[in-house]
Every structure is written in C-alpha cells, then in structure tokens.
C-alpha cells in the first residue's frame, strides 16, 4: 500500500474531484467541469465513475460495483478488483450492505438508504447534445433555463413512434431547475432518482463533468400532458424469482429462440430466491 496512493488517485486530485462533487451537491443537476485524469482503463469503462468513487472511498467503506444490474460482468469485476487492490476496501454484492455503489445502467431494486452513495458512470452528460451540438449554446440554455429543445426531442419521438420511445437516458428536471441526463439507466429506474435517501453522484470521464443529486431531491421525468411519462418494463414476472416489480433482462435460452425473463439486478433476484420465492422456470432452493 505504501507505494501507492489510497484508491489510486493522489490526494491533490481527490481534493479537486471532491470540490467538484460538493459543488454538484450544492447545485443539484448542474454539470460541474473537472479535470479528468488518465485512469488505467479505457474511457468506455467508466473512468468518470471510477474517479468519483476514488474520491469518495474511505478505508471503512464497503464497495459494490454493478454493470447493467449484475455484479459479475467483466466490467464490474475489474472495477471492483481495481479498488480492492488500490484501496484495500471491503467489497460486497449485497445492495443493503454497501456504503458506496458504483453503477452502469441501473439503480438497484433494493431501496437505498441514508448514508449510502450511488455513483453513476456517465458517457454523455449533456441532455441537450442530441439537438444542439454547440457547447457554448447548451451552457447558455442551462443558464437561462431554455429547455424547449428537450421537448422537441420528445415531440420527435412521438411523431415517429406514436409514443415517447426514449427508453434509456430519459431526461429529467431537477428541483424545477436543471434538466439532467440520468445516464443510460432504463426509464423504469427514473422514479427511483427522486426523493432518494442516498447521495447520487454522476461522473463523466471523457466529457469531464460531475453532477449530483443530494438526498431527497425532487426529480421529475419530462413529458407531455397528453403523453405522460411511464416507467415501463417488460410485461412479465422474473422467471427465476417471480418478482413482478423488478426490471427484467430478456435472455435467449436455446437456438430455437426460447427465451426467459430474469431480474437484471442479480443481487435482488438471488436474495428473493434465497428467501424462497420461485418463478416460472426457477427451482425451489436453487439459489446459491
């Protein structure tokens, strides 16, 4: 340990990132620029989230890392290992036991509580980018709360698909002020952004932006009066644990096209099976 800085980054850098985080918490939903550092992994691997996590970790923390809800993907495993090695922190797969959770594309199903920190990996922090590529202009739009363009995007969705087809990175308004990209979580997760007891931090490495939602922040998904927001999911129950209210992945199970639906949150699913819940294809007591 003595050869390395705790959690890889030097203290100077962590201080700089913490300042950005504090500013983000003070102005919920506002994108704070920060000087993103080279990390020993490619940008697509969530270097923004990793830097935020590194700046938040203390030796007493217990870290959980998920990718699309799963703790066991290559991405999640390597980030978890990285912090085990560089910070020596304890790790866990149980949402309820983690103090810091770094995530890509999901919010855990198990409700978070006060004291927990959820760190999102963000590829494109600017929700207006889709229609306005000029950075000077989008910054001006945020400053002056000129958010009509966000609804143009939703209008285009309805005009083309008959309904708001945006399923991921569904834009939200924070405390009636800043419009924010919640990172590519499914819109099913959007309601969990709001009034959440945990601290939610968003890190975009390549784009060098950090933003935040302090606990119990009001977050509203944008919509039209006649096309209200819907937190939709596949109309099935989990085939393993029978949950009817969790976000599901569709899995092809053989080359004849058979498919099953399983919770994308692996910890949630395993916990339910361990508690005796059984789905259509699950075997009682099959949980490890």
Partner 1 sequence: MGAVDMDICARVKEDRPLLSVQGVKKLYGNRIGCTDVTFDLFPGEVLGIVGESGSGKSTLLGCLAGHLKPDAGRILYDGRDMGALGEPERRRLSRTEWAFVHQNARDGLRMGVSAGGNVGERLMAVGARNYGTIRDTAADWLGRVEIAADRIDDRPSAFSGGMQQRLQIARNLVTGPRLVFMDEPTGGLDVSVQARLLDLLRGLVRDLGLSVVIVTHDLAVVRLLADRLMVMKSGRVVEQGLTDQVLDDPQHGYTQLLVSSVLQV
Which residues bind to Zn ion, rule: CB under 5 A? Answer: 238, 240-241, 243, 263, 269
What does the DSSP assignment read for 57-96? --TT-EEEEEETTBSSSHHHHHHHHHHHHHH--EE-S-GG
160 counts as binding partner 1 under rule CB under 8 A: yes
CB of 144 or CB of 275, closer to partner 1: 144
Residues pairing with 120 in the sheet: 103, 202
**Which residue among 29, 49, 271, 282 is the active-site one?**
29
**Which residue among 241, 271, 279, 282 is the active-site one?**
241
269 binds, among partner 1, Zn ion, none (CB under 5 to 8 A by kind): Zn ion
Residues contacting partner 1: total by CB under 8 A = 17
> d(Cα 29, Cα 188) in Å, to the nearest integer?
20
149 counts as binding partner 1 under rule CB under 8 A: yes
225 counts as binding partner 1 under rule CB under 8 A: yes
245 counts as binding partner 1 under rule CB under 8 A: no
277 binds, among partner 1, Zn ion, none (CB under 5 to 8 A by kind): none
Does residue 183 contact residue 213 with C-beta atoms inside 8 Å? no
94 counts as binding partner 1 under rule CB under 8 A: no
156 counts as binding partner 1 under rule CB under 8 A: yes
Pick the piece of the chain touching partner 1 (CB under 8 A) from 3-11, 100-108, 151-159, 251-259.
151-159
In angstroms, give the least distance from the CB of 220 to partner 1. Answer: 12
CA–CA–CA angle 200, 205, 210 (5° rounding): 35
Identify the CA nearest to 89 among candidates 97, 81, 119: 81
Sign of CA dihedral 41, 199, 173, 248: positive
> d(Cα 272, Cα 189) in Å, to the nearest integer?
19
227 binds, among partner 1, Zn ion, none (CB under 5 to 8 A by kind): partner 1
CA–CA–CA angle 115, 192, 16 (5° rounding): 50
Identify the CA nearest to 217 among candidates 201, 196, 190, 191: 196
Restricted to residues 110-139, the positions that interact with partner 1 (CB under 8 A) are 131
Kindly list the residues in this chain that would bind partner 1 in the complex (CB under 8 A).
Answer: 131, 140, 144, 146, 148-149, 151-152, 155-156, 158-160, 224-227
Q: What positions carry a catalytic annotation?
A: 29, 238, 241, 263, 269
């Amino acid at each position: 340990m003595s050869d390395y800085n705790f959690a890889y980054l030097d203290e100077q850098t962590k201080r700089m990132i913490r300042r950005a985080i504090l500013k983000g918490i003070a102005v919920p939903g506002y994108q704070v620029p920060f000087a993103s550092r080279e990390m020993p992994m490619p940008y697509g691997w969530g270097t923004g989230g990793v830097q935020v996590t590194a700046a938040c970790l203390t030796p007493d923390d217990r870290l959980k890392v998920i990718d699309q809800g799963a703790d066991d993907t290559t991405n999640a495993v390597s980030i978890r290992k990285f912090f085990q090695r560089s910070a020596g922190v304890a790790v866990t797969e149980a949402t309820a036991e983690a103090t810091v959770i770094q995530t890509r594309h999901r919010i855990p199903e198990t409700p978070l509580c006060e004291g927990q920190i959820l760190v999102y990996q963000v590829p494109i922090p600017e929700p207006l980018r889709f229609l306005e590529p000029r950075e000077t202009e989008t910054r001006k739009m945020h400053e002056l709360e000129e958010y009509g363009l966000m609804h143009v995007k939703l209008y285009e969705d309805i005009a083309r698909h008959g309904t708001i087809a945006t399923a991921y990175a569904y834009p939200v308004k924070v405390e009636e002020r800043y419009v924010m990209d919640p990172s590519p979580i499914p819109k099913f997760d959007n309601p969990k952004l709001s009034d959440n007891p945990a601290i939610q931090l968003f890190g975009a490495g390549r784009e060098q932006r950090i933003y935040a939602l302090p606990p119990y922040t009001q977050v509203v998904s944008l919509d039209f009066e006649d096309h209200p927001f819907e937190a939709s999911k596949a109309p099935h129950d989990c085939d393993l644990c029978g949950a009817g209210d969790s976000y599901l992945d569709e899995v092809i199970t053989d080359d004849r096209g058979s498919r099953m639906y399983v919770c994308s949150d692996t910890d949630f699913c395993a916990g339910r099976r361990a508690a005796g819940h059984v789905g259509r294809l699950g075997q009682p007591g099959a949980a490890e």
